[in-house]
Amino acid sequence: MDRGYGLVAGLISADEVDRLLGQLPELGDQAGSRSLLEFAWCQVFAHDPRLLQLAQGLVGDEAQPVRAILFDKVAGRNWTLGWHQDTKIAVREARPELPGYSAWSVKEGVVHVLPPVEVLKASVALRLHLDPCPATNGPLQVIPFSHRDGLRDDPTEAEIATAETLTAEVGDVIWMRPLVFHGSARATSVGHRRVLHIEYCAARLPEGLEWAWANQA
């Protein structure tokens, strides 16, 4: 049964993770970076057959990487994130005349937009853990099956009571559908909680609208 998320243990080896760590950009005082697909190493990794096959098995054979984000919880960059759905996609330029696309905005110089729900249903995020993420390190919290009712403002209290905490080891990949309500608590341990979050989508955008970083491999 599709709970809207899952964990693949040890999909990426520790040696591969070490090589990725050597490629990461400096975040300074930022909690993350949303533009990792600008880097050739990230494009290559996002097209790794293990990741592509996982994404395609979840949302369809046309799935391709469309955005990659680095998150890092550490002392000085620690946060709590309330329950929410991931509802925006990153595109090359704004086309406000397109029907069904709304809430246009710009983040880190990149145009983002709320697409039709069908685009979100054809999407999945793969979250590679680059550090151990025990319960004290601000792990992902998810509400099972909460994606099934589409776009909503908030989960119900009954749903929140069923929430799960997803701890992970280095090299584990958590997959998550964007409409699953999720959040996280502040980390209480000292150390990094780096996650490489790569989004894949099997939907085609309408003519004149392009993904911000797709087809750059």
Contacts of 22 (CB under 8 A, 6+ apart): none
Can you give the pTM of this predicted structure?
A: 0.93
Closest CA to 45 of 81, 17, 84: 17
Q: Say if residues 163 and 129 touch (Cβ distance below 8 Å).
A: no
What span, in angstroms and rounded, lies between the C-alpha atoms of 96 and 136? 43
CA angle 4–131–177, rounded 5-degree value:
15
Beta-bridge partner residues of 199: 67, 125
Between the CA of residue 72 and those of 64, 138, 159, 203, 217, what are the distances in Å?
A: 24, 10, 28, 29, 25
Beta-bridge partner residues of 89: 113
Break the chain into its structural domains and give their ranges.
5-201
**CATH class for the domain made up of 5-201:** mainly beta
pLDDT in tens, 17-51: 999 999 988 755 554 577 899 999 999 999 999 99
| Average pLDDT for 1-12 | 96
pLDDT in tens, 71-107: 887 666 666 789 999 999 999 999 999 999 999 999 8
Tokens 């002392």 correspond to 75
